[in-house]
Amino acid sequence: MSNYSEEHKEFLKKKKKEKIIVISFQILILLVFILGWELLARFNLINTFLLSSPSLVLKTLGSLFTNNDLLVHIGITLYETVVSFLVVTIISLLVSTLFWFSKRLAKILDPYLTVLNSLPKVALGPLIIIWVGASTNSIIFMALLISLFLSIINVYHNFKETDSNYITLLRSLGASKLQIFMKAVIPSNLSNIINNLKINVSMCYIGL
């Protein structure tokens, strides 16, 4: 015997139907894009030297896989992404925590963070190669430049927006600043921290 009411069953049915419709349209859009891209290339309506085509991409992927180059490059990119992501995450959390404990320090460094975040990092590529060298280190350094300052700004902003009433209540009960941070700030911002981690992954990959 089902524990769901007819209304609940109808709601679940509509929700499942909506999910199927969304996924179907997502797949359809992708297929139309790939088909249109291939047709434009076949009829020479686009320059395949600049824009390639799905068939040429598949052919190149097959060649790279056969020569074992594809897996090697995927492994290197994955390694660089993981390293830069972990470094950015750790530094941004530590700096944001330090800023929360020292509002004065946050006010002093805030304009510098804003300026550093607005720098055209990609334009600094040649300088980064000179400073760090043309190696994996320079690639990771570029990923750090692109994602680190934005991550610090976002995490610290979330920490500042913690419910002030909750913090006031804990203070009235005699909680220390560390206890407030551990019992109020961190739990209140877990979802924000996770969202920031998602952004960090994409930004690190863009940097790479």
Q: What is the pLDDT of residues 74-90, one digit of tens each?
A: 899 899 999 999 999 99
Residues 80 and 118 in one domain: yes
CB neighbours of 83 closer than 8 A, spacing ≥ 6? Answer: 140
Q: What is the pLDDT of residue 29?
A: 97
Q: Which domain-ending residue is among 67, 89, 112?
A: 67
143 HSE (CA, 13 A, CB side): 27
Q: Which domain-ending residue is among 48, 67, 86?
A: 67
The candidate with the shortest Cα–Cα distance to 144, out of 67, 83, 74, 63, is 83
Residues 74 and 167 in one domain: yes
The dihedral through the CA atoms of 76, 57, 125, 152 has a sign that is negative
Q: In terms of residue numbers, what domain contains 20?
A: 1-67
pLDDT digits 0-9 by tens, 105-152: 999 999 999 888 888 877 888 888 888 888 888 888 888 888 899 899
pLDDT digits 0-9 by tens, 182-207: 888 989 899 988 998 888 888 888 88
pLDDT above 50: residue 1: no
Q: What is the pLDDT of residue 4?
A: 66
Percent of the chain with pLDDT over 90: 38
Cα–Cα–Cα angle for 136, 65, 133, rounded to 5 degrees: 10
CATH number at residue 135: 1.10.3720.10
Percent of the chain with pLDDT over 70: 98
**Which has more confidence, 11 or 60?**
60
Instruction: Give the Cα separation of 103 and 81 in Å (integer).
Output: 32
pTM above 0.75? Answer: no
* Mean predicted lDDT score pLDDT of the chain: 88
Tokens of 65: 């896989």
Residues 44 and 72 in one domain: no
Total domains in the fold of the chain: 2
Long-range CB contact pairs, 170-178, < 8 A, 24+: 177/101
Query: Which range among 9-23, 66-80, 116-130 shows the weakest confidence by mean pLDDT?
Result: 116-130
Q: Which domain-ending residue is among 67, 84, 108?
A: 67
Q: What is the pLDDT of residue 36?
A: 95
In order of 53, 54, 78, 127, 137, the CA distances from 57 in angstroms are 6, 5, 21, 32, 29
Tokens of 114: 């804003």
Q: What is the pLDDT of residue 207?
A: 82
